[in-house]
Amino acid sequence: VVDGVRLDNSEFHSERSLGGVANSNRAMDINPNDIENVSILKGAAATALYGIEGARGVVLITTKRGSSAGLKVDVGTGMTFSNINNVVGLNDEYTQGWSGQWAGPSTAFIPSAVSWGAHKDDLYWDGSDYKWDKNGQLTTDATAGPKFVPYDNVNNFFETGTTWNTNIAISGGSEAADYRFSFGHSDEKGVAPNNTFTRYNLGLNLGSKALDDKLDLRFTANYAKTGGNRVQQGSNISGVMLGLLRTPISFDNANGNVDPANDVSSYQFEDNSQRNYRAGGGYDNPFWIVNNTPFNDNVNRFFGNISASYAFSDWVNLRTTLGTDFYTDNRTQRFELGSRNAPAGQVIEDNYNYRHTDFYFSLLGAGTIATDLTFSYNVGLNLYDEKLKNNYIQGDGLNFFGFPQLGNTGAISSTIANTNIKTAGAFGTFDFGYQNFLYLTLTGRNDWSSTLIDPTSEFDAGAISFFYPSASLGIVFTEKIDIPGLSFGKLRLSYAEVGGGAPGAYSTSTNFILPIQNAGTINDIGDGWTNGLGFPFQGVSGLVYSGVAGNPALKPSRTKDIEIGADLRFMKDRVGLDITYYTRKSEDQIIAINIPVSTGFQRAIVNSGELATVGGEVVLTLNPISKPDFNWDVAVNFSKWKTTVESLPEGVPNQYLDGFTGTGVYNIAPETDDNGNVTTTYEYGQLLGNPFQHVNDGNNGFNPDLPYNPDGALVIDDDPTSSNFGFPLVDPVARVIGNPNPDFLLGITNSLSYKNLSLSFLFDIKEGGDIWNGTKGALTFFGRSELTENRGTVTVFDGVKSSDGGANDIAVTLDQNWYTGNGGGFGSVSEHFIEDGSYIRLRYVTLGYDLGSVLDGIGFDNLSVSFTGRNLFLSTPYTGFDPDLSLVGASSNGQGLDYFQMPGIKSYSINVNATF
């Protein structure tokens, strides 16, 4: 919410959710230098007045205005340098090949896709004329030529990223009017070559008062132009990280070039075919990706509002606000001929046109209605209208190399999707205060949402209507009770409900769509791995039902929230303690569940069961030192919560949220005994996959019908006729193998100032939160994980024999058969790649100096210089790039998945700000 009006924060994905490029939400269009204040409203009681969108909390942004102090010019500039903050452990010992023998590039999966070749110390360059390497081929003949030295493809790929920010603002005013005009520019080059982002911002904020200050007018307008070039990543054979990390140490992606990203010979032959370690097949050379598979986006956005208020009296104030937000988001994805995601070449133009209007009309006022009794109110109406048009055009089969445009493709398919969502709301809030001691707030809102309209029946306003109230009570007991050492004490209690319509338009109906071959959506006719089918098919056009079945019987979702808390301050406010405890129950959440494909659909929209949340937060503030020239403030924030799945729709054992077929994130229905009594509940969003067999019965054995016991001893196959002899057996039942939810979060902020010098730093601590390290699992299969450097090691698995439960004593060799089977990430088991995502992180440290007093005499009102470092320190048991990263994005319901996304970033910046 910006200046009282909702701002769209959507995140549209042009590619498969597990691959493609990283799409940011539209909050990135806001100029951070225009922001005066940011506050976060937590709990349903704080958000009930903001309608459906307030169900998960509200971020309130207030932008800067001019003042009556006269003309002021603010100028700021800054430069940031960025690098990756961690490197995953890779096999640096063994080369491309199979069974201990080196193999050069070829399109055959075995032996060329993997790194199960010879040891680096046994190989030499032969200096022959070899198209894949300037040094020739590798041989074990020590007399052939120079000794082989492994290539460092990872460090040779990433660069130092830079970001340059410039901002100018002119503001001023008088007692009757104020103005502020701002300009901002940000130019970013990422750590991956050719990864760029640019943003331009223009802002205008005008205010005026008239009629003895009774009439207050304000106009804000903001224009943003953003765009750049994004790189492919994730579960994507044209993804940078997938091709980069799987490349063997014996293949040089740079082909010996000093500037490989800008030297075409690094990744491309003279005939325009691709140079990669799979001989043009398999996975793209990362330098090919950043040059020949660009994803460009171009966003033009305007948002702003006009508001007017008139104070008839203290008791009656009329206020109206009309806000709008509209933008075009034009995206172009190109796959040059020979790109692995589209070998024949492909061009996609994916264009979004978005607009919403947000109108508020309210009456508000405040005053005293009796001795020591104050009252304020705000009642009004809210109308919201949102329109989105998506125009998708896909061209397949480039006619010739070097011109990746739609006009150069052999087959063009397109589809247009229009959506329109309307909501109307009536709201009211009433505040009572008694003797600065007792405070009561009552709110209520009724919404009508078009997303709940049943297209199969006559319009019924009651069916799309939902009312949600709230009440909060505050008692400042220190107004009546004097407690030594306690300067302020307040107790809080609140109850609130928040309702909601369907999360998207037309969820109550099943719609016809035009499937496009290889478009990567749920509406494709295919299995998700092959190109699938689409229309026109063999010259015949047609439509099919969407892959998601609508539900005309949808009813509003509802969340009920109870919160209690205390705000205590000690030692003349030098110590503060804010404690909050809350419970939340969510009912009839509107979700998409997987259903049998025999129905003709993949998913169905339903009202799900119940989620129950219990949590708490403690904020401790300290002011250990407060002197005229020196001040030290400390803030400690601790939070802990647990959301459990109380029920799912009848007959649904689990609800898929995100991930892969073998390992994904699911909501799991509670387990019950024969009498229907709940015996086990699971937290929201659990990692589901197949583990190894663990002892789970009283006879030192395994029973698939009994619960999973991850702490039990492994059950080892002791059948000498089995190919798995001496190795752990696979549990045939998919189990909950990890919990991505953290045990708690802790933030510690220190702010120190000495005269004009300031220092602040934040430590972030997360305890718990499992992550499926799918990157490590896949690299283990390919022989590229550091884990596989122990190949050839003889070991005895700690466990019990499957036949009699006796201690295992069977020696086995950890070789490529083990790691390309159940020991790797492409086998039947995923539990051994579940890792602890705990961390201690230095989130930022900022050192600043204010030169204002020094420069007063030469025209500066203020001049400050600051240095900031981000993510400078990270301590974690997680062996991936960064436990903060998520394959499907932070806004997804499926957390705890890591699969070849881009690494985390650490940065250093210097900023200079001046005021005239």
What is the tens place of the pLDDT at every residue in 737-787?
Answer: 999 999 999 999 999 999 999 999 999 999 999 999 999 999 999 999 999
Looking at the domain assignment, is residue 591 inside a domain? yes
Looking at the domain assignment, is residue 825 inside a domain? no
DSSP string of 223-280?
EEEEEEEE---SS-TT-HHHHHHHS-TTS-TTTT-SSGGG-GGGTB-TTS-B-STTTT
Q: β-strands 799-801, 714-716: how paired?
A: parallel
Is pLDDT at 532 greater than 80 in this prediction? no
For residues 453 and 408, the model is more confident at 408
What is the tens place of the pLDDT at every residue in 196-254?
Answer: 999 999 999 999 999 999 999 999 999 999 999 999 988 889 999 999 999 999 999 99
**pLDDT value at position 524?**
53
H runs (alpha helix) in 16-108 = 44-47
**pLDDT value at position 462?**
80
Q: How far is CA 563 from CA 295, 491, 611, 613, 621, in A?
A: 46, 11, 17, 12, 21
Cβ count near 795 (within 10 Å): 12
**pLDDT value at position 526?**
53
**pLDDT value at position 522?**
47
Whether 446 and 467 have beta carbons less than 8 Å apart is answered as: yes
Distance CA 566, CA 477 (A): 11
Q: Where are the beta strands (DSSP E) in 435-485?
A: 438-449, 465-475
Across residues 177-197, what is the average pLDDT?
97
Residue 536, preceding peptide bond in cis (omega within 30° of 0): yes
**pLDDT value at position 477?**
97
Domain count within the chain = 1
- The number of angstroms, rounded, from the C-alpha of 661 to the middle of its chain's C-alpha atoms is 21
Q: Where are the beta strands (DSSP E) in 242-345?
A: 295-311, 317-335
Distance CA 635, CA 751 (A): 9
Distance CA 520, CA 15 (A): 6
Looking at the domain assignment, is residue 578 inside a domain? yes
**pLDDT value at position 529?**
46
Looking at the domain assignment, is residue 584 inside a domain? yes
**pLDDT value at position 47?**
66
- Measured distance between the N- and C-terminal CA atoms of the chain, rounded to whole angstroms: 31
- Mean pLDDT check: name the lowest of 132-146, 235-249, 540-554, 578-592: 540-554
| Burial grade of 97 (CB within 10 A; 0-12, 13-18, 19 or more) | buried
Across residues 575-598, what is the average pLDDT?
91
Q: For Cα atoms 445, 446, 448, give the angle at the middle one, nearest 5 degrees.
A: 140
- Binning pLDDT at 50, 70 and 90, where does residue 556 land? confident
Distance CA 619, CA 634 (A): 10
Looking at the domain assignment, is residue 478 inside a domain? yes
H runs (alpha helix) in 22-106 = 44-47
DSSP state letter for 844 = E
Tell me the three state secondary structure of residue 547. coil
Looking at the domain assignment, is residue 551 inside a domain? yes
Structural domain that includes position 638? 435-499+546-647
Structure tokens that stand for 619 in this block? 């904020």
Q: Where are the beta strands (DSSP E) in 648-691?
A: 654-659, 664-668, 671-672, 678-680, 686-689
Whether 848 and 842 have beta carbons less than 8 Å apart is answered as: no
- Mean pLDDT check: name the lowest of 90-94, 586-590, 686-690, 911-915: 586-590
- Mean pLDDT check: name the lowest of 459-463, 864-868, 878-882: 459-463
CA neighbor of 517 nearest in space, from 527, 507, 508: 527
DSSP string of 713-743?
PEEE---TTSTTTTSBPBPSS-EEEE--S-S
CA neighbor of 784 nearest in space, from 335, 38, 338, 241: 241
CA neighbor of 890 nearest in space, from 775, 740, 777, 667: 740
CA neighbor of 31 nearest in space, from 179, 228, 208, 220: 220
Sign of the torsion formed by the C-alpha atoms of 854, 856, 862 and 863: negative
Whether 667 and 654 have beta carbons less than 8 Å apart is answered as: yes
Distance CA 802, CA 790 (A): 26
CA neighbor of 2 nearest in space, from 246, 309, 324, 264: 324
CB-based contacts of 540, cutoff 8 Å, min separation 6: none
Across residues 809-817, what is the average pLDDT?
97
Distance CA 566, CA 493 (A): 9
- Binning pLDDT at 50, 70 and 90, where does residue 16 land? very low
Sign of the torsion formed by the C-alpha atoms of 91, 95, 96 and 99: negative
Q: Enter the pTM of the model.
A: 0.92
Distance CA 212, CA 730 (A): 80
Looking at the domain assignment, is residue 450 inside a domain? yes
- Mean pLDDT check: name the lowest of 144-148, 311-315, 589-593: 589-593
Report the length, in residues, of the chain: 916
- Binning pLDDT at 50, 70 and 90, where does residue 17 land? very low
Query: Which of 336-350 are b and which e, b meaning 16 or more Cβ less than 10 Å from the residue's Cβ?
Result: bbbbbbbeebbbbbb
Looking at the domain assignment, is residue 486 inside a domain? yes
Per the prediction, the chain carries an average pLDDT of: 91
How are strands ordered across the β-sheet holding 664-668?
654-659, 664-668, 686-689, 735-738
Whether 241 and 253 have beta carbons less than 8 Å apart is answered as: no
Is pLDDT at 533 greater than 70 in this prediction? no
Radius of gyration (C-alpha) of the chain in whole angstroms? 31
Per cent of the chain over pLDDT 70 is 94
Across residues 565-582, what is the average pLDDT?
97
Distance CA 695, CA 687 (A): 21
